Structure 1
Amino acid sequence: MDKHEMVMDVQEKPKLQKWVVLSLQHLFAMFGSTILVPFLTGLSPAVALISSGLGTLAYLLITKGKIPAYLGSSFAFIAPIIGASSAGGPAGAMVGTFLAGVVYGVVALLIRFLGLNWLMRILPPIVVGPVIIVIGLGLASTAIDMAMYVPGLDENVYSGTHFSVALFTLFVTIIASIFFKGFFSLIPILIGIVSGYMFALFQGIVDVSGITAGWDSIMSAGSTGEFFAAIFKSPDFVVPFVHYSPVEILSGEIVLLMAPVALVTIAEHIGDQMVLSKIVGRNFLKQPGLHRSILGDGAATMIASFLGGPPNTTYGENIGVLSITRVFSVFVIGGAALIAICFGFVGVITAAISSIPSAVMGGVSILLFGIIASNGLRMLIDNQIDLSDKRNLVIASVILVIGVGGAFIQLSDNLQIAGMALSAIIGVLLNLVLPGKESGYGNGAMFDDSDVQKNQKPSDAA
C-alpha cells in the first residue's frame, strides 16, 4: 500500500475490536502531555482526562464530525494558570479558563462574519513566534526546580537523587524521540514518564501508598457493589456556583493573565488546521470552516472550566498518529475520548498518576518547555522572517526581553500586566505602529487548496 493511501475515511466506522485498538492508540499518544499540565499547575489529572474527553466530543459535534482532531491540555496556559491560581486559587484558574474559552468564541464569530485577515494583521508570525518562545523559556525555571530540588519544602534543597531521576527521564525521552520509529515515536513523553517512574521506584522516591490502598480496597471487596465502588472514584471536580462564586473571583488580573494567551493559541490552532488539512487531503479551513474549529476549541476549554480542568487545544501528537496510520475516522477519535473519560473515574489510575515524582515530570518538562520555545523559533523560520530587517529585529527583541525578564506594569494594588501578557500586548502594538508591516508576515507560502494534496509530518509538540 502506498504510504499516502487513505486507510479509513473521516466518517467511516471501524469494527468494534479494531475500533478499540485504534482508539487506545490515540489515548496513549495524548496521555503523557495531558496529565503533565495539571500536574504542573496543581489541578487534578483525572479531571483533565475527563475534560479532554468531553471537550473532544464537543469539538467533533461542533465541527459536524468532519475534522478528526483530539483535544488535550494546553501547555501555553501553564504559567497563566499558575498566576491565576495565585490570584484566586483553583477557582481563579477556572474563571480564567472560562474567559479563554470566551475569547475563542468571540474570535470564531469575527472570523465567521469578517474573515481571517484582521486576525493575521494583529498576530503575524513576527509577533506570535517570539511570544511562543517566551511561553517556553518563561517555564524553564519551573522545570529545573522540579528536577533538582526536594519537593514540599519551604526552601530549595538540592537532591542528587532527584536530579539523577530527572536526567534519566530526560535521556529516555530524548532517545524515544530521536530513535524510535512508527507509533512509538509519537509517545516519547509517555515512554519517558513510565521509564523515569520505574527508575524512581528503585531510588525510593515514589510514594505508592495511594496505589496500595486502592488495590487493597479492590481485593477486599465483598460484593459487586463494593468492587465497583473500589474501582471507580469521583475526581476532585471544581464546579462554579457549587465550590465557588465566579463573580466574586473575577478580577482584571485574571483577565490579563489568560486572555492574551488565548489569542496566541488561536494562531497555533490555525497552523494545526493547515497541517491536518494537508494530511487528510481536505481544506478544513473552508469546510466545515475555521470558525467552527476555533469555536470547538473554545467550547472544550469552557467545559474544562466547569469541571476544574486546564484549557484544551488540538494535539500535534494525535495529528501525528493520523499521519502514520492514515486512519482518519472521527469515530476512532471519539472512542479515545470516551476511554479518557472512563480512565478519569478509575481510582487506581488516578492514584498512579498522583504518585509520579516531581523529578520525573521535571525531567520531561526540560525537553517539553524547550520544544515550546523552539516551536516559536520554527514559526519564524517556516515563515522566512528576515531578522536582518530592523523592524522585525526590534519587535522580536522587545518581546523576548520583556517576557523572559518578567517585566510588569502595576495598574493597582491587585492588578498588574506581567510577563507573557505584557510582551504580547507590546508586540501587537509595535507591529501595528511601526512602518513596513509586510516584513512581519515573511515569505512563507500561504495556504491554498493545492496545499491539501501535500502530505507533511506535523510537529509532535502539543
Structure 2
Amino acid sequence: MALPWTLHGDGKAVGANEVVAPGARLTWPRTIGLGMQHVVAMFGATFLVPVLTGFPPTTTLFFSGIGTLLFLLITKNRLPSYLGSSFAFIAPITAAVASEGMGGALFGVLAVGVLLALVGVIVQLTGTGWIDALMPPVVAGAIVALIGFNLAPAAKNNFVQAPLTAIITLAAVILSTVLFRGILGRLSIVIGVVVGYIAAVISGEVKFEAVEKAAWIGLPEFHLAGNPFANPALWGVLPAFLPVVLVLIAENVGHIRGVAQMTDPSVNKLTGRALLSDGVATVLAGFGGGSGTTTYGENIGVMAATRVYSTAAYWVAGIFAVLLGLSPKVGAVINTIPAGVLGGVTTALYGLIGIIGVKIWLDNKVDFSKPVNQFTAATALIIGIADYTWVTGGGVSFNGIALGTIAAIVIYHLMTLIARWRKTA
C-alpha cells in the first residue's frame, strides 16, 4: 500500500519561502528526526500534568500517543497536531482526586471528552460561527486566564517545600528562554526541570529505589473511570470539569487557524473533525487512566521554526510516545521529580497559562474602555483566582473555574443584550 505523502522537492531541504505541506514529507531519516523533535517538544509539558495530578506518567504518555494517531486518522492525515496533556485539567482533577479519588477524576475527564466529541459533530454540521458568538475574545481570554491563575496556590505549596531548588529551577527556565534560540529556547520548561532535578539530586532530595526496581518494558498502569450510576456522588465533580471543554475548543480552533494561515486555508474545514478527534482521545484517556488531551502549542512552535507541517513527522512522534508509555522505567524516573522542581517550574508555567488568556485579548484588540469587557473579565478573574465555591442543596459543588466561566459568559451576554434593548427601546 502506497504511503499518503509526496516527497517535497528533493526531500532534503526547505526553501527560504517554502513550507512542507501536511501531505508532503522530507526523506524518512529527516522525517524521523523531526518526529523525535516533536517528542522532545511535547514531553516536558505532557509528563508534568500526571506528575502534578498524581496520575501514572507512562499511562498519560501512552494515551497521548494513541490519541495523536487517532487524530491523524480522523482528520484524514491533513492536519498536523500532537495531542498532549492539557493543563486545563489540572485544577479539576486535583479537586476530584481529593474528594472522589482517581476514579472520580477519570469520570470527569471522560465526560469532557464526550462533550467535546459532540461539539465536534455539531461543528462539522453547522460550522464554527456559534462558537465565536458564545465565546468572543473577551470571554475566551478570561476563561483561559482564570484557569491558569486559579492554580497559583498549588505552585506555592510545592515551592515552599524546597525553596532553593525551586529558585534554581525557575531561574533555569527564565534564563534558557533568553539565552537559547530555536528549539532549545522553546524547550525552556524541559531545560528548567533538568537543571532543577540535577540540583535536587546533589542536595539529596531524589530517591532512586523505585527506578532500580522498575522494569524496562511493561504495560502502563491502567485505571478505570468511576461509575456515576453506582456512585451518584461522582456527578458532583462535573461542574469543575465542564468549563475545560470551552478551553479545549478555543485551543483547537486557534491551532487550526494557525496551521491554515501557514499552509492551506481549506484546513479550516477540518475544525469539526479536530474537535471530534480530541474528544475521542480524551474519552479513551478517561477510560484507561490518562489525562485529557489537547493540541500542543509547543509543537506548533516547532513547525513554525522548521516550516515543516508534514503529518508524517507526527506519526513518528505518536508511535514513539506509545513506546515510551510501555516503559515502566520511564515512569519511575518521572515520578522521582521532587516538589521543589515542580514548584519552580509551575510558578512560571501556571502564570504562562494565565498570560495566554491575556494574549487572546491583545491579539483580538479587546477594548477595555467598554464596561461590558471590563466587568466580564474583572468578575471572572476574581472568582477564579480566589477560587469561589458554591455548594448546592443537593451537594453539587461549583469551584472557582466553573463559577468564573459561568460568570464570564453570563455577564457578557446579559450586558450586551441589555445594551441592545436600551438602543431599541
How far is 1:414 from its partner? 2.6
Give the one of 99, 104, 115 matched to 1:92.
104
Q: Is 1:420 the equivalent of 2:420?
A: no
> Which residue does the alignment assign to 1:211?
211
SS of the aligned residue for 2:392 comes to: strand
Whether 2:63 is the aligned partner of 1:25: answer no
1:262 is the counterpart of 2:245: yes
Q: 1:359 to 1:120 in 2, by over 3 A?
A: same
Listed as ranges, the matches of 1:49-448 within 5 Å are 49-149=61-161, 162-214=162-214, 230-240=215-225, 244-249=226-231, 251-286=234-269, 289-412=270-393, 414-435=395-416
User: Aligned-pair RMSD on alpha carbons?
Assistant: 1.9
Q: CA deviation at 1:430?
A: 1.4
**TM-score computed with the length of structure 2 as normaliser:** 0.91
Contact 2:237 2:397 in 1 (8 A): no
How far apart are residue 413 of structure 1 and its match? Answer: 5.2
Whether the 8 Å contact between 1:196 and 1:360 is mirrored in structure 2 is yes
Q: Which residue of 1 aligns with 2:18?
A: 5
Residue ranges of structure 2 left out of the alignment (5+ in a row) = 1-13, 421-425
Q: For 1:285, give the aligned amino acid.
A: N
Q: Aligned letter for 1:186?
A: R
Q: Distance in 1 between matches of 2:47 and 2:228?
A: 25
Per-residue Cα deviation, 1:82-124 (whole angstroms, up to 9, x for no partner): 1222332111111111110111112112222232222222111
**Quick one: structure 1 residues 321 and 438, their matched pair in 2 at CA, closer, same or farther if it must change by over 3 Å?**
farther
Change (3 A) 1:143 1:13: same
User: 3-state DSSP class of the match of 1:68?
Assistant: coil
Query: Structure 1 length as normaliser, TM-score?
Result: 0.84
* 8 A contact 2:88–2:147 mirrored in 1: yes
- Secondary structure of the 1:170 match is helix
Structure 2 CA distance for aligned equivalents of residues 80 and 88 of structure 1: 11
Query: Structure 1 residue 390: deviation in Å?
Result: 1.2
- C-alpha distance in 2 between matches for 1:438 and 1:294: 33
Tell me the secondary structure at the aligned position of residue 416 of structure 2: coil
Matching residue of 1:451: none
Whether contact under 8 Å (2:69, 2:315) holds in the other structure is yes
Q: Identify the residue that residue 225 of structure 1 maps to in structure 2.
A: none
Name the amino acid aligned to 1:313: T
* CA offset digits 1:414-433 (Å, max 9, x no partner): 31222110111122111221
The percent identity for this pair of structures is: 34
In structure 2, the partner of 1:454 is none
Opposite residue 412 of structure 1, the aligned amino acid is G
Which blocks of at least 5 consecutive residues in structure 1 are unaligned? 150-161, 215-229, 440-462
Q: Which residue of 1 aligns with 2:8?
A: none
